[in-house]
Amino acid sequence: MPVVKTTVVASADALSHTAARWLENALTLAEARRGPDHQLRVCLSGGSTPKRLYELLATPHWAERLPWDRIAWYFGDDRFVPHDHADSNAHMVDAALFAHAPDTDVNVIPYGPDIEVCARAYDSLLRAAHAADAGAPLFDAVICGVGLDGHTASLFPGQPALVVGDRLAVAVPEAGQEPFVPRISLTFRALNDSRATAFLAAGADKRDILTRIFAGEDLPARRITAHDSLTWLLDEAAAPASLPRPGPAAG
């Protein structure tokens, strides 16, 4: 069972800084456990919330603070559209981060004529990466978002992908929330095989679904776990009323 922690920060901007420090810490802990020579594996979320984080990681400050040449980056899901499409998570993360960051190993979810072929290709890619050091979790850090219906990645309520246990990546023919395009998503088997995982959520529109999740409702986002730590990083607008608020800014 992971150590579960919730951090409420004052704003979406503060959330991006807190998330960057969370990622740095998660990778430092992973290197301490696995040694400095192992490639680190990080799985990123799509959607709009983490975009500020990705833009922050692209700044010179973070260019110096992360071991970019030892990180392989993966995606928790993508919309099944060309990589130059406005709905593509690969497109969003490249524009916000990788186009401006130091050289690093980016593994986008493939797009092509057949969604099942692409899903199986990503499944194989993840298995091959993990086979290199099967003794460690698949990921050293996973960043998740949560949709208004409680989905995470492209694991939507009531859909078959929620119970797939023999795959790391699957095709999701029908999205349960916009954009209503087919998706490819990592399964819980993949997403939960992580040393450290953080949810990022911001904005008043997320308070209701987070309140339901924190109350124990069995929604996909609540099925996310991790080996060592699961951290909810929320801004005040999104945080359920039951959670303590940040104190006054230090003098």
> To the nearest whole angstrom, how small is the minimum distance from the Cβ of residue 216 to ligand 6PG?
21
Sheet holding 169-172, edge to edge: 77-79, 183-186, 169-172
Contact by Cβ (8 Å): 93, 58: no
d(CA 68, CA 66): 5
Q: Which residue is nearest to ligand 6PG (CB)?
A: 145
Nearer to ligand 6PG, 8 or 143 (CB): 143
Report the interface residues with ligand 6PG, using CB under 6 A: 45-49, 76-77, 89, 145-147, 151-154
Nearer to ligand 6PG, 136 or 144 (CB): 144
Which segments of 71-206 does DSSP mark as H helices, in order? 89-93, 115-131, 188-191
Nearer to ligand 6PG, 136 or 176 (CB): 176
Query: Among residues 45, 53, 113, 112, which one has the least CA distance to residue 77?
Result: 45
Query: Among residues 186, 150, 179, 2, which one has the least CA distance to residue 87?
Result: 179
> To the nearest whole angstrom, how small is the minimum distance from the Cβ of residue 201 to ligand 6PG?
7
Contact by Cβ (8 Å): 9, 236: yes
> To the nearest whole angstrom, how small is the minimum distance from the Cβ of residue 46 to ligand 6PG?
3
> To the nearest whole angstrom, how small is the minimum distance from the Cβ of residue 21 to ligand 6PG?
20
Nearer to ligand 6PG, 39 or 211 (CB): 211
Tell me how far CA of residue 219 lies from CA of 146, 182, 223, in angstroms: 10, 20, 7
Nearer to ligand 6PG, 89 or 136 (CB): 89
How many other β-carbons are positioned within 10 Å of the β-carbon of residue 155? Answer: 29
Helix, strand, coil percentages, rounded to 5, for the chain: 35, 20, 45
> To the nearest whole angstrom, how small is the minimum distance from the Cβ of residue 202 to ligand 6PG?
8
Token pair, residue 135, equals: 């003794």
> To the nearest whole angstrom, how small is the minimum distance from the Cβ of residue 248 to ligand 6PG?
28
d(CA 223, CA 23): 21
> To the nearest whole angstrom, how small is the minimum distance from the Cβ of residue 47 to ligand 6PG?
3
Nearer to ligand 6PG, 14 or 136 (CB): 14
Exposed / middle / buried, residue 173 (Cβ in 10 Å: 0-12, 13-18, 19+): middle
Nearer to ligand 6PG, 93 or 136 (CB): 93
